[in-house]
């Protein structure tokens, strides 16, 4: 099959959604450019001088921001990014955003006002945070300790996010739309840990601490200040109940229901990722 000539770049191509998106696009025979700090050309959010080369010849771009759009620097970076993208000839920008994050919504407004065709994929918390991110060590070690959350969360499977992003990148009928995506059910962190424990046939505990206590201990073990700020923002503000609702966007866009947490766990447990930590 002949490769489609328009090039789609993925900023953050080694991340949870970025890797899945670029793999899907390649299977669909799109011309792609995987961008990360170690790619060639490289893309680094901390070095704006590399952005023009990274985006040269690109028609559309999927953007994931590091560390998170909630951080204060994100709005400025996104304004600079859309300026570079427009100058490079990019026509369409799809941004992964966080649900209920004030900083993320400011970045979204920058994209909407960019003059480019756009999509915002605004997502709830990832299910894969339990298997590919900061919660994994605790689960492997037999007890997950987190700041005390104030509300339930409609966790979403990253594979669903990737499917929606690919649809946004490749379907003209979705252009210039906000696509707010969630999983199908509201769950507590304790419920999620219980499902993982049962599926992995292990005894895994779950403990919550006041956020200040949690962060003091984490910083004593070397947690960087910017990540500590982000965890505080997420657990104090984002998980305050503002996101305790689900959407039907995945079904509307993809014609099928969103994947359940049980489906995610059943698929993931086969990898052995939740086995006892060595």
Q: HEC profile for the chain?
A: CCCEEEEEEEECCCCHHHHHHHHHHHHCCEEEEEECCCCCCCCCCCCHHHHHHHHCCCCEEEECCCCCCCCCCHHHHHHHHHHHHHHHCCCEEEEEEECCCHHHHHHHHHHHCCCCEEEEEEECCEHHHHCCCCCHHHHHHCEEEEECCCCCECCECHHHHHHHHHHHHHCHHHCCEEEEECCCCCECHHHHHHHHHHHHCCCCEEEEECHHHHHHHHHHCCCCHHHHHHHHHHHHHHCCCCCCCCCCHHHHHHCCCCCCHHHHHHHHHHHCCCCCCC
Q: Which residues of 109-139 are buried (b: 16+ CB within 10 A; e: fewer)?
A: ebbbebebebbbbbbbbbbbebbeeebbebb
Q: Which residues of 65-99 are buried (b: 16+ CB within 10 A; e: fewer)?
A: bbebbbbeebbebbbebbebbeebebebbbbbbbb
pLDDT of amino acid 175 = 98
Bridge partners of residue 82, in order along the sequence: none
Instruction: Quickly state the pLDDT bin for 230 (edges 50, 70, 90).
Output: confident
Given a cut of 60, whether residue 1 has pLDDT beyond it is no
Q: Cα–Cα distance between 67 and 230 in angstroms, integer?
A: 9
Q: Which of 225, 238, 182 is nearest to 70 (CA)?
A: 238
**Residue % of the chain over a pLDDT of 90:** 84
Given a cut of 60, whether residue 93 has pLDDT beyond it is yes
Mean pLDDT, range 54-75, rounded to an integer: 95
Lowest mean per-residue pLDDT among 48-62, 136-150, 156-170, 249-263: 136-150
Given a cut of 50, whether residue 278 has pLDDT beyond it is no
Q: Which of 50, 42, 53, 3 is nearest to 26 (CA)?
A: 3
Q: Which of 100, 43, 93 is nearest to 69 (CA)?
A: 100
Instruction: Quickly state the pLDDT bin for 17 (edges 50, 70, 90).
Output: very high
Q: Which of 254, 239, 274, 278 is nearest to 70 (CA)?
A: 239
What's the pTM?
Answer: 0.95
**Residue % of the chain over a pLDDT of 70:** 98
Quick: pLDDT tens for 123-154: 999 999 999 988 999 999 999 999 988 899 99
pLDDT of amino acid 265 = 98
pLDDT of amino acid 122 = 98
Mean pLDDT, range 106-134, rounded to an integer: 96
Mean pLDDT, range 61-70, rounded to an integer: 95
All structural domains of the chain, each given as residue ranges with its CATH number in brackets, are 4-126+156-184+245-258 (3.40.50.720)
Quick: pLDDT tens for 19-34: 999 999 999 999 999 9
């Amino acid at each position: 099959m002949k490769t489609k000539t328009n090039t789609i770049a993925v900023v953050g191509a080694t991340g949870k959604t970025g890797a899945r998106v670029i793999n899907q696009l390649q299977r669909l025979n799109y011309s792609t450019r995987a961008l990360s700090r170690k790619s060639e050309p490289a893309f680094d959010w901390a070095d704006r001088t590399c952005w023009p080369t990274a985006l040269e010849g690109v028609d559309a771009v999927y953007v994931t921001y590091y560390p998170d759009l909630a951080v204060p620097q994100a709005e400025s970076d996104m304004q600079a990014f859309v300026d570079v993208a427009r100058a490079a000839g990019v026509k369409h920008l799809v941004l992964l955003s966080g649900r209920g994050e004030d900083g993320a919504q400011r970045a979204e407004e920058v994209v909407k006002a960019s003059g480019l065709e756009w999509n915002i994929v605004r997502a709830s918390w990832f299910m894969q945070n339990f298997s590919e991110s900061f919660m994994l060590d605790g689960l492997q070690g037999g007890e997950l300790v987190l700041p005390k959350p104030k509300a339930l969360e409609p966790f979403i499977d990253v594979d669903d996010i990737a499917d929606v992003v690919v649809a946004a990148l490749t379907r003209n009928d979705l252009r210039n739309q906000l696509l707010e995506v969630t999983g199908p059910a509201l769950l507590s962190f304790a419920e999620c840990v219980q499902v993982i424990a049962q599926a992995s046939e292990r005894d895994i505990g779950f403990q919550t601490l006041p956020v200040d206590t949690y962060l003091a201990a984490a910083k004593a073990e070397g947690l960087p200040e910017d990540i500590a700020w982000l965890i505080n923002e997420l657990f104090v503000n984002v998980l305050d109940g503002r996101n305790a609702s689900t959407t039907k966007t995945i079904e509307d866009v993809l014609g099928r229901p969103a994947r359940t947490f049980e489906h995610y766990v059943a698929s993931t447990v086969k990898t052995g990722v939740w086995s006892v930590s060595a």
